[in-house]
Amino acid sequence: RSRGRKAARMSYDVAITDGPVRAIFDLKGPQAALADWAGDTLPGFPDAPNRRVREDGKTLAHIGPDHWLLIADLTREEALTDALKPADAPPEISIVRVSDVYAWVRITGPDAAHVTATGCPLDLETFPEDGASFTEFFTQKALITRGGHGFEVAIDRSYAPWIAEMLARITP
């Protein structure tokens, strides 16, 4: 017979906030072809997979073979669309605006890695400062980036309330 002890709740030193909606473009194709087409619209390409480069208020994340995400402030979305000309792109590349697909959550503070790790299988202790990788977050596909004093997680907007509930359960 068990004695019915209550489990102790952990307390974490984190802040969880919604991130802003951002301009996001999904870029696919050979790096050289994308660079030729986009010219100086893109920041420099990251020199390794699962890394990102930030320049002039734009982030370029290498998230897979011949696959990048361009992320910028939402106020730049129309100018980037005009510069990238997705509808006119050559057949060897694909440029798709996906800004409205993602919701962002920021997890910051001394315990940010621990809280983020509860929903993510990546080894976040070794995840680099310029890291960017698709993974799972509470069983949903998510983009994880590290920066500042924590992590940002981009998830399908339709799952944002559920992700918020999962985070609230572990950080009451």
Report, as an integer, the average pLDDT of 57-85. Answer: 97
Instruction: Look at the block and give the residue holding tokens 């919604």.
Output: 18
pLDDT per position as a tens digit, 111-128: 999 999 999 999 998 999
Residue type, 12: Y
The angle that helices 77-84 and 31-38 make with each other, rounded to 10 degrees, is 110
H or E element that contains 151: strand 150-156
Residue that wins the pLDDT comparison between 161 and 11: 161
Neighbours of 116 (CB within 10 A): 24
H or E element that contains 156: strand 150-156
Strand extents, DSSP E, 21-118: 22-28, 52-55, 58-64, 67-73, 94-97, 102-108
- % of the chain exceeding 70 in pLDDT: 94
pLDDT per position as a tens digit, 13-48: 999 999 999 999 999 999 999 999 999 999 999 999
SS3 for 42? coil
The answer, yes or no, to whether residue 3 has pLDDT greater than 60, is no
Q: Tell me, what's the pLDDT at 151?
A: 96
Q: Smallest Cα–Cα separation from 29: which of 89, 99, 92, 85?
A: 92
Q: Tell me, what's the pLDDT at 6?
A: 52
